[in-house]
């Protein structure tokens, strides 16, 4: 009955309060659920593709530097007698021309591969061109230009059996004929069905993979540890045996920092939501102070009172969680694209399709919402349970914060603790110290809130009374009078503002750093690429000899061929790239961390067969100039001295760059991803661009892109990547504004008698509204000022601790004035608007009734 009296009935009666609180929690939970759903959908898309392509294979032999030699198959012969099965596989990325759409090419031995993967043919082309399904017609699939497409993909590309399709794979442009259509099953479902399958001989011949394989799939008896051990001994250096799931694990690890950062942002929304629950339960106790006193007088025990208010928190948490899960599911669908784009741009090709709400995610949402709500309710509930009944019943005795000094001292201790933990190094690649420091700083600012509200009222009071007269004076005086509640609302809004400013500072600094970096790095006149989009540039290649042809063009002064590939280093996927150091030194200036001049580092690398590494590689693997790095290459492994560390914001996985001749020699790969062109003096860039495209477009599918377009493209990708960050912050601000509405509404309800008195003594409705909006504006003002200070403190942690430890990037501090001003305006406006609802509430007050009631 206590719960009914203090929680359930008020929950129904005070609809506005209930709705606002539930909504506040729901928003926080929704963000967490959405991020989890979108991320797991992206990861699932990747791992399902890996599983679909792996089929029944339980082991794979892979090259750490890429391809492996076909001759390895013969060396595995001794294992045949043990019942082991092997399938040679070519699995490479490419594009379809002319659309530039990415496609995966799977080359397998079409006959023996049936043991590994299940192919369900829908139709097969016969020699005469009519569709049949007789077994003999399958031979058509082995012709040198045959490919097989999944049925949905063929429909999407508008190709039918017998049609030709242009593929550009590893720099080889080939016109292939669709001679088989597969049902959407098994490998035909991998990569969302953007896959072409052909016989391995066809793949090797057409796409310059003769004698090479991407990997060998194996089926071993699971308990055959002897076979595994034997294989391990047989494999040459740079080639490894692993489970297919290992790839998923690596991708998951690669995305960990990205995911943790998203969750940290969701944490802000949740933290603000927690403030809201704390606020609501506290207000609920303060408003029912008298009822609590009566119930205690009548014999309700402290434990019952405590349980009742904790139950209130739990109830809000539960309702908020359920609503949040539903909202999160909707939100996930809309952020899926953003998350997918980021993962594609920075990590791996994965095309998430739909989000699936699993019991695990539902449990996560409920746990997050209810646990945090209950935690927020504990302190006020305990307080209500402890207070003597007599002091709660007697009118006029309000809970006030009389002495703020202990809070200020506690805040100072938290600041010091925050600084101390921010010096701790990363744990498992995650900036744990940084996140804890953020919590400490937020807690410290929250403890300062009462002092800040009091100071604001004191400072702004005279000004408010000058401008608004007695209404202004009353508004300023009401803030410290109910300090506890106003302080909580202010702390919640400060937190949201602080995070917004911090993220604006971090993203702004990062953007400016990247802009300067791009300006310095992209010093060439034109770029030639085999695909129009930057994110496809890794999947499409120019064949050997392309660069030489470009170099012969009369108006070209010099070219630099860029090539890189994924390489396994310490079980992590890194990028090993190559450029032409001589050309780079002549025309460009690579932004360096160490040594200062890129000239020295590149010259030393070229002279000593060394490498320069990216800053994130150096931070992640703790490598410095003078150290050596051991990498897998085409024939085994090689050691390289590090001659320089350069800045690279295009990739947080770590990059190792070497001079092109060394790369070509060690990786036996003389193709290029991009050819950078430097024009002769006086040549018109745009004309040159058009001319190059005319010369190399038809033959190589080359696009010529100007320096300015590249810079624009980089900044567009940057902005897209951070779009989700801004969206999450908007949510946090919205939740904080809800908090102000909630607090002010409660304050109004509690002050009905006082407000009625003001009305009776002659205050107009307009003045009453002004007073209340002024109150919320003053809270907004205090919160905005504190938010800015908090924002700077938090951005310092974000930039110099969390970013550095998570991604290994050095970011120069920069204040994006317009962005900060805009976010402050938004916060302040939110607080002004938040005063409007309670002001309406106050205006509807029944004066006579309010005065009659005690």
Partner 1 sequence: MRVSLQDVSHDYGVTESSAAVHVLDRVSLEIASGDFVVLMGASGSGKSTLLNLIGAVDRPTGGRILLGDLETSSLSETELTRLRRHSIGFIFQFFNLIPTLSVFENVAFPLSLASVPRREIDERVTTTLQEVGLEHRRGHYPNELSGGEMQRVAIARAIVHRPALILADEPTGNLDSKSGLGVLDLIRKLHETHRSTIVMATHSDRAAAYGHYIIQIADGRVAR
Which of 267, 381, 377 is CA-nearest to residue 315? 377
Q: Between 289 and 660, name the residue whose CB sits nearer to partner 1.
A: 289
C-alpha to C-alpha distance for 541 and 701, rounded to whole angstroms = 10
Name the burial class of residue 177, with classes exposed (0-12), middle (13-18) and buried (19+) by CB atoms within 10 angstroms of its CB: middle
The residue range among 2-10, 365-373, 544-552, 564-572 that interacts with partner 1, by the rule CB under 8 A, is 2-10
Q: Between 229 and 390, name the residue whose CB sits nearer to partner 1.
A: 390
Site for partner 1 contains 854 (CB under 8 A): yes
Which of 599, 715, 617 is CA-nearest to residue 657? 617
Q: Between 2 and 335, name the residue whose CB sits nearer to partner 1.
A: 2
Contact 180, 154 (CB under 8 A): no
Site for partner 1 in 115-174 (CB under 8 A): none
Which of 637, 632, 656, 512 is CA-nearest to residue 568? 632
Site for partner 1 contains 761 (CB under 8 A): no
Contact 612, 621 (CB under 8 A): no
C-alpha to C-alpha distance for 63 and 101, rounded to whole angstroms = 27
Site for partner 1 contains 566 (CB under 8 A): no
C-alpha to C-alpha distance for 476 and 469, rounded to whole angstroms = 11
Please, what is the minimum distance in Å from the beta carbon of residue 854 to partner 1? Answer: 5
Q: Between 305 and 692, name the residue whose CB sits nearer to partner 1.
A: 305
Please, what is the minimum distance in Å from the beta carbon of residue 742 to partner 1? Answer: 19
Q: Between 175 and 388, name the residue whose CB sits nearer to partner 1.
A: 388
Token digits for 822?
């805009």
Site for partner 1 contains 13 (CB under 8 A): yes
Distances (CA, A) of 743 to 50, 387, 487, 495, 739: 52, 23, 10, 16, 6
Q: Between 244 and 480, name the residue whose CB sits nearer to partner 1.
A: 480
Site for partner 1 contains 82 (CB under 8 A): no
Which bin fits 570, alpha (ψ -120 to 50), beta or left (φ > 0)?
left
Contact 43, 344 (CB under 8 A): no
Please, what is the minimum distance in Å from the beta carbon of residue 423 to partner 1? Answer: 39
Please, what is the minimum distance in Å from the beta carbon of residue 462 to partner 1? Answer: 24
Q: Helix or strand or coil: residue 764? A: coil
Please, what is the minimum distance in Å from the beta carbon of residue 743 to partner 1? Answer: 21
Q: What angle do CA 218, 221, 222 make, to 5 degrees?
A: 100
Among 129, 402, 423, 622, binds partner 1 (CB under 8 A): 402
C-alpha to C-alpha distance for 161 and 588, rounded to whole angstroms = 50
Q: Between 312 and 670, name the residue whose CB sits nearer to partner 1.
A: 312
Q: Between 302 and 544, name the residue whose CB sits nearer to partner 1.
A: 302
For 155, how many CA atoms within 13 A lie in the half-sphere containing its CB?
8
DSSP line for 59-112: EEEEETTB-EETTHHHHTGGGGGGT-EEEEEEEEEEEEETTTEEEEEEEE-TTG
Q: Between 300 and 384, name the residue whose CB sits nearer to partner 1.
A: 300
Please, what is the minimum distance in Å from the beta carbon of residue 455 to partner 1? Answer: 19
Name the burial class of residue 83, with classes exposed (0-12), middle (13-18) and buried (19+) by CB atoms within 10 angstroms of its CB: exposed
Please, what is the minimum distance in Å from the beta carbon of residue 389 to partner 1? Answer: 4
Please, what is the minimum distance in Å from the beta carbon of residue 501 to partner 1? Answer: 36
C-alpha to C-alpha distance for 24 and 4, rounded to whole angstroms = 23
Q: Between helices 707-750 and 483-521, what is the axis angle to 10°?
A: 180
Which bin fits 680, alpha (ψ -120 to 50), beta or left (φ > 0)?
beta
Q: Between 1 and 74, name the residue whose CB sits nearer to partner 1.
A: 1
Among 77, 81, 403, 761, binds partner 1 (CB under 8 A): 403
# of chain residues touching partner 1 (CB under 8 A): 28
The residue range among 7-15, 44-52, 569-577, 636-644 that interacts with partner 1, by the rule CB under 8 A, is 7-15
The residue range among 4-12, 373-381, 437-445, 778-786 that interacts with partner 1, by the rule CB under 8 A, is 4-12
Q: Which are the contacts of 286, defined by CB distance < 8 A and separation ≥ 6?
A: 398, 399, 484, 485, 750
Please, what is the minimum distance in Å from the beta carbon of residue 298 to partner 1? Answer: 5
Token digits for 64?
């750490």
Site for partner 1 contains 697 (CB under 8 A): no
Cα–chain center distance at 727: 12
C-alpha to C-alpha distance for 285 and 7, rounded to whole angstroms = 10
Which of 30, 33, 31 is CA-nearest to residue 724? 31
Site for partner 1 contains 233 (CB under 8 A): no
Q: Point out which residues pair with 198 in neighbouring strands.
A: 107
Q: Between 181 and 305, name the residue whose CB sits nearer to partner 1.
A: 305
Q: Between 388 and 586, name the residue whose CB sits nearer to partner 1.
A: 388
Please, what is the minimum distance in Å from the beta carbon of residue 390 to partner 1? Answer: 4
Please, what is the minimum distance in Å from the beta carbon of residue 306 to partner 1? Answer: 12
How many CB atoms neighbour CB 681 within 10 A? Answer: 5
Site for partner 1 contains 396 (CB under 8 A): no
Please, what is the minimum distance in Å from the beta carbon of residue 303 to partner 1? Answer: 8
Please, what is the minimum distance in Å from the beta carbon of residue 294 to partner 1? Answer: 5
Q: Between 302 and 730, name the residue whose CB sits nearer to partner 1.
A: 302
DSSP class of residue 801 equals I
Q: Between 6 and 797, name the residue whose CB sits nearer to partner 1.
A: 6
Pairing of strands 628-633, 636-646: antiparallel
Q: Between 135 and 298, name the residue whose CB sits nearer to partner 1.
A: 298
Please, what is the minimum distance in Å from the beta carbon of residue 406 to partner 1? Answer: 13
Among 317, 365, 389, 498, binds partner 1 (CB under 8 A): 389
Please, what is the minimum distance in Å from the beta carbon of residue 3 to partner 1? Answer: 11
Distances (CA, A) of 316 to 276, 311, 326, 378, 466: 10, 9, 16, 13, 42
For 476, how many CA atoms within 13 A lie in the half-sphere containing its CB?
19
Site for partner 1 contains 544 (CB under 8 A): no
Which of 191, 111, 198 is CA-nearest to residue 149? 198
Among 4, 82, 466, 639, binds partner 1 (CB under 8 A): 4
Site for partner 1 contains 850 (CB under 8 A): no
The residue range among 245-253, 384-392, 744-752, 775-783 that interacts with partner 1, by the rule CB under 8 A, is 384-392
Please, what is the minimum distance in Å from the beta carbon of residue 25 to partner 1? Answer: 23
DSSP class of residue 443 equals H
Site for partner 1 in 177-196 (CB under 8 A): none
Q: Between 301 and 764, name the residue whose CB sits nearer to partner 1.
A: 301
Please, what is the minimum distance in Å from the beta carbon of residue 387 to partner 1? Answer: 11
Q: Between 388 and 712, name the residue whose CB sits nearer to partner 1.
A: 388
Binding mask 273-312 for partner 1 (x = CB under 8 A): -----------------xx--xxxxxxxxx-x--------
Q: Which residues bind partner 1 (CB under 8 A)?
A: 1-2, 4-6, 9-10, 13, 290-291, 294-302, 304, 388-391, 393, 402-403, 854
């Amino acid at each position: 009955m206590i719960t009914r009296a203090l929680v359930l009935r008020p929950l129904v009666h005070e609809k506005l309060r209930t709705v606002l609180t539930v909504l506040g929690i729901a928003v926080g939970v929704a963000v967490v659920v959405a991020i989890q759903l979108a991320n797991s959908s992206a990861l699932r898309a990747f791992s399902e593709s890996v599983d679909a392509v792996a089929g029944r294979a339980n082991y794979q032999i892979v090259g750490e530097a890429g391809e492996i030699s076909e001759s390895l198959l013969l060396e595995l012969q001794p294992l045949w007698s043990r019942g082991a099965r092997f399938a040679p596989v070519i699995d490479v990325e490419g594009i379809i021309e002319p659309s530039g759409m990415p496609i995966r090419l799977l080359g397998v031995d079409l006959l023996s591969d049936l043991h590994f993967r299940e192919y369900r043919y829908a139709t097969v082309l016969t020699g005469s061109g009519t569709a049949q399904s007789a077994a003999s017609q399958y031979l058509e699939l082995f012709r040198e230009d045959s490919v097989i497409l999944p049925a949905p993909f063929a429909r999407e590309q508008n190709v039918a059996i017998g049609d030709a399709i242009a593929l550009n794979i590893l720099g080889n442009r080939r016109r292939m004929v669709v001679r088989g259509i597969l049902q959407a099953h098994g490998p035909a479902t991998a990569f969302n069905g953007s896959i072409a399958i052909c016989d391995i001989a066809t793949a090797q011949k057409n796409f310059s993979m003769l004698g090479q394989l991407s990997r060998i799939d194996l089926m071993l008896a699971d308990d055959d540890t002897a076979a595994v051990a034997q294989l391990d001994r047989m494999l040459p250096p740079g080639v490894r045996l692993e489970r297919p799931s290992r790839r998923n694990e690596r991708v998951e690890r690669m995305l960990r920092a990205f995911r943790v950062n998203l969750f940290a942002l969701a944490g802000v929304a949740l933290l603000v939501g927690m403030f809201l629950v704390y606020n609501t339960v506290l207000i609920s106790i303060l408003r029912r102070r008298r009822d609590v006193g009566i119930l205690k007088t009548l014999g309700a025990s402290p434990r019952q009172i405590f349980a009742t208010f904790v139950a209130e928190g739990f109830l809000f948490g539960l309702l908020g969680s359920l609503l949040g899960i539903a909202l999160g599911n909707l939100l996930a669908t809309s952020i899926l694209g953003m998350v997918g784009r980021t993962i594609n741009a920075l990590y791996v090709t994965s095309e998430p399709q739909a989000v699936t709400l699993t019991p695990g995610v539902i449990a996560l949402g409920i746990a997050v919402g209810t646990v945090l709500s209950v935690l927020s309710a504990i302190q006020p509930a305990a307080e209500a349970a402890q207070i003597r009944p007599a002091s709660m019943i007697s009118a006029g005795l309000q809970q006030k914060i009389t002495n703020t000094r202990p809070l200020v001292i506690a805040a100072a201790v938290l600041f010091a603790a925050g600084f101390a933990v921010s010096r701790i190094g990363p744990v498992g690649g995650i900036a744990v110290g940084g996140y804890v420091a953020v919590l400490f700083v937020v807690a410290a600012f929250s403890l300062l809130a009462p002092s800040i509200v009091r100071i604001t009222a004191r400072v702004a009071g005279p000004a408010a009374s000058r401008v608004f007269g007695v209404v202004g004076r009353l508004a300023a005086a009401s803030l410290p009078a109910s300090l506890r509640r106003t302080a909580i609302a202010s702390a919640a809004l400060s937190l949201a503002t602080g995070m917004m400013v911090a993220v604006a500072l971090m993203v702004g600094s990062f953007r400016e750093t990247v802009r300067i970096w791009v300006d310095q790095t992209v010093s060439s006149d034109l770029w030639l690429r085999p695909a129009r989009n930057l994110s496809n540039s890794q999947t499409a290649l120019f064949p050997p000899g392309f660069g030489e042809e470009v170099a012969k063009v009369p108006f070209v002064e010099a070219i630099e061929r860029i090539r890189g590939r994924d390489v396994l280093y310490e079980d992590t996927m890194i990028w090993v790239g190559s450029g032409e150091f001589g050309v780079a030194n002549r025309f460009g200036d690579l932004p360096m961390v160490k040594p200062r001049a890129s000239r020295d580092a590149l010259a030393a690398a070229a002279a000593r067969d060394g490498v320069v590494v990216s800053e994130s590689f150096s931070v992640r693997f703790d490598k410095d100039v003078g150290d050596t790095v051991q990498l897998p290459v085409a024939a085994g492994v090689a050691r390289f001295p590090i001659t320089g560390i350069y800045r690279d914001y295009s990739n947080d996985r770590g990059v190792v760059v070497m001079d092109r001749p060394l790369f070509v020699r060690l990786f036996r790969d003389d193709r290029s991803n991009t050819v950078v062109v430097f024009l002769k003096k006086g040549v018109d860039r745009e004309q040159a661009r058009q001319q190059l495209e005319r010369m190399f477009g038809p033959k190589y599918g080359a696009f010529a892109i100007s320096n300015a377009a590249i810079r624009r493209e980089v900044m567009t990708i940057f902005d897209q990547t951070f779009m989700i960050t801004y969206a999450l912050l908007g949510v946090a601000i919205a939740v904080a504004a809800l908090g102000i509405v909630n607090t002010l509404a409660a304050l109004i309800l509690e002050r009905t008698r006082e407000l009625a008195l003001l009305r009776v003594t002659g205050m107009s409705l307009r003045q009453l509204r002004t007073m209340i909006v002024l109150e919320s504006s003053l809270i907004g003002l205090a919160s905005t000022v504190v938010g800015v200070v908090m924002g700077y403190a938090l951005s310092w942690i974000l930039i110099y601790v969390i970013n550095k430890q998570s991604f290994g990037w050095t970011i120069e501090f920069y204040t994006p004035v317009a962005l900060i001003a805009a976010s402050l305006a938004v916060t302040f406006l939110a607080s002004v608007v938040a005063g409007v609802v309670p002001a309406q509430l106050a205006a509807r007050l029944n004066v006579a009734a309010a005065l009659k009631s005690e």
